[in-house]
Amino acid sequence: MGLTKTEIFTDEQNRLASLFKVLGHPARVAILQYIINQKACICNDLVDELGLAQATISQHLKELKNIGIIQGTIEGKSVCYCIDEKLWKQIQAEFNVFFNQEVKITGCCS
Amino acid sequence: MGLTKTEIFTDEQNRLASLFKVLGHPARVAILQYIINQKACICNDLVDELGLAQATISQHLKELKNIGIIQGTIEGKSVCYCIDEKLWKQIQAEFNVFFNQEVKITGCCS
DNA sequence: ATTTAATATCGCAATATTACGATAATATTT
DNA sequence: AAATATTATCGTAATATTGCGATATTAAAT
């Protein structure tokens, strides 16, 4: 096993889980925060900033790019990464749809 | 390797990532949605509802309990699960603190 | 006390993730 | 064109996660 049974869940559940999953690693949270704090595109200071190997950072960046939350633009021989503001807000909105469900408990817990 | 280097990240980054991670599985998203839709505590219909073995569901419930987002109360020979509304809102708030950071890009991407 | 029912835990196999060194690919600089 | 710099990809080892059957554990019901 070790294989998530995605076929038994709804698309919405799988979608939401895959977004959460990408954000579920401290390196990826740190990368996002670093880009935001620079208030600019960043072209791999990440490797110096975080204590991870270049290959590892590159891999994490790829996962973030996959969900679209960051963009990479080639600038000469380096690549500039920045937050995709539209996606950023959209993902926040998707999470809020989930969290804003009415949680009304009328049973043993109340 | 295969071991996340938590020691190089801030507590905040690790905390946030661990919350995201728990929600990063469709079964756990589905469990939460099911409990919410019942609008009541639920005492393991989950095994029938989702297509996963009892042992597997129990494991997922444990992870959700670990972050406190659900509570389990023993009711006779079964256990009732419900959302912890306070934690639910607190976790949403933590996510929003993260997402409400000012994302201002003034570089190659604008 | 025995049986029954519900849930948790253990142990394991299969797959996934994390991390990194080595190397390839790409583009600038000399 | 060769050298240099930056990033991506490949291959691989170590660890984590997922899922499940088997087996506890717990509490009610008979």
Domain holding A44: CATH number? 1.10.10.10
Residue B103 included in any domain = no
**Mean pLDDT, all residues of chain A:** 91
Q: Which of B16, B52, B83 sits opposite A105 (nearest CB)?
A: B83
**Residue with the two structure tokens 């999953």:** A21
Is B106 a domain residue?
no
In strand D, the nucleotides that come within 7 Å of a protein beta carbon are 4-11, 13-22, 26-29
Is residue B2 in some structural domain?
no
Instruction: Domain count for chain B, please give it.
Output: 1
Strands (E), A54-101: 70-75, 78-83
Model confidence band, residue A61 (pLDDT cutoffs 50, 70, 90): very high
CA distances from B86 to A91, B15, B21, B70, B73 (A): 23, 17, 20, 10, 16
Question: Is the CB atom of residue A59 positioned under 7 angstroms from any atom of strand D?
Answer: yes
Burial readout A10-47 (b: 16 or more C-beta within 10 A, e: otherwise): eeebbebbbbbbbbbbbbbbbbbbebbebebbbbeebe
Cα B31 to Cα A10: distance, rounded to the nearest angstrom:
12
Model pLDDT, residue A40: 65
Please give the model's pTM, rounded to 2 decimal places: 0.94
Least confident stretch, A8-22, A38-52, A89-103:
A38-52
- Per the domain annotation, does A64 fall within a domain? yes
Q: What is the pLDDT along chain B (110 residues), one digit of tens a residue?
A: 779 999 999 999 999 999 999 999 999 999 999 999 986 667 678 999 999 999 999 999 999 999 999 999 998 889 999 999 999 999 999 999 999 997 776 666 65
Nucleotide nearest to B21 (CA to C1'): D17
C-alpha to C-alpha distances, B18 to A40, A45, B66, B105, nearest whole angstrom: 27, 25, 11, 27
Q: Taking 80 as the threshold, does the pLDDT of residue A106 lie above it?
A: no
Task: Classify residue A48: in a domain, yes or no.
Answer: yes
Please name the residues in contact with B98: beta carbons below 8 A apart, sequence gap of 6 or more: A29, B16
Helix B26-38 and helix B11-23: axis angle, to 10°?
Answer: 70
Residue B27: other Cβ atoms inside 10 A: 25
Q: Is residue B43 part of a domain?
A: yes
Range of the domain at B45: 10-93
Strand partners, A72: A81
Q: Do B82 and A10 touch (CB under 8 A)?
A: no
| In a domain? residue B73 | yes
Per-residue CA distances from B35 to A10, B19, B70, B82, B107 (Å): 16, 19, 9, 6, 45
Side by side, the strands of the sheet bearing A78-83 are: A42-43, A78-83, A70-75
**Contact, A106 vs B40, CB < 8 A?**
yes
Q: Which residue from A5, A39, A41 is facing B108, i.e. has the nearest CB?
A: A41
A46 CA vs D10 C1’ separation (Å): 22
In a domain, A93, yes or no: yes
A31 touches strand D (CB under 7 A): no
